[in-house]
Amino acid sequence: MNQPQRQSHIVKQKTGPDDPELEKALQVAIEQVSPEDVITIADELAERHARLFLNLEIDSAKLAASFADITAAVTHTKANARTLTNYFVQGDLAQPPAGKFFDELLRGESPTPLRVAKFVEKVNALDTRLALELASGLLHNTSPKDHWLWTRWLWDPTTGTGILPLLAGSTHNLLADNLADGYARVGVVTAMSIKFGEGTGLWTDELMANEKRAQFANSAFLACAYSVYLYGTTSWRLNREFNNLLPSLPNMARKLLGLKKIKEENIPLVE
């Protein structure tokens, strides 16, 4: 069975300057990702959910024991993971109130957007983007059917960048006056992105065939989509020698999602 064409919403002029070389670079980039890559990444997210988040204990002492793994899962750099670990496990919030913060976030009675905003407000010594990544990462990974991610690579209102406005074609539906509204808007546009995914050829029936995998299908797709754009714009601006040092696009996506990269042969991405 032939795979559908992957001439997608990712590959068009609105993603960058009107430059045919950029469009060509993006098309080369999207050819580096296959539907099977998205499926594999979604499966890895499902496996991590079962192993780390499914029966998450939020008692302060038990949470501290697994917190380093949790922070590595919800951030895309080791530095950010260390910042979170130091703040919660080694800092003042190592005391019992930390467990209460997480209990209110994950099990509180208020609507999820309000719980996210309240959590970020309480940990205001952290960078807001990092606090959002922790809050939304915990919610999404513990209950992926009910909650969505809000990471800076999805939508960063401070810079107006991310894969969501690229796929939607504008920032209009993402602009908000407060964090609660912002989280709700990210959820709406994230749900809309499924329609964009179907036009790329990366979103297949097999991706949704397994219930555990399907819960993480959109996160896997969006991370791959952002990696396509990141690699495409990078290869457009920089020289071939530099581009050949980059990891594969699937491993870029894994990094965004806090997954361990898969060992790969040293094959240049650009021929």
The model's pLDDT over 181-223, given as tens digits with 9 standing for 90+, comes to 999 999 999 999 888 888 788 899 999 999 999 999 999 999 9
Token representation of residue 93: 């919030």
Name the 3-class secondary structure at 2: coil
Q: What are phi and psi of 3, to 5 degrees?
A: -75, 145
Cβ–Cβ under 8 Å, residues 116 and 139 = yes
Q: Using a cut of 0.95, tell me whether the model's pTM lies above it.
A: no
Name the 3-class secondary structure at 258: coil
CA atoms within 13 A on the CB side of 146: 9
- Residue 148 to residue 163: CA distance in whole angstroms: 14
Output the tens digit of pLDDT for each of the chain's 271 residues.
444 444 444 444 444 445 566 666 667 777 889 999 999 999 999 999 999 999 888 776 677 778 889 999 999 999 999 999 888 876 544 455 566 788 899 999 999 999 999 999 998 889 999 999 999 999 999 999 999 999 999 999 999 999 999 888 899 999 999 999 999 999 999 999 888 888 788 899 999 999 999 999 999 999 999 998 888 777 655 555 555 666 789 999 999 999 999 876 544 444 4
- Residue 182 to residue 174: CA distance in whole angstroms: 7
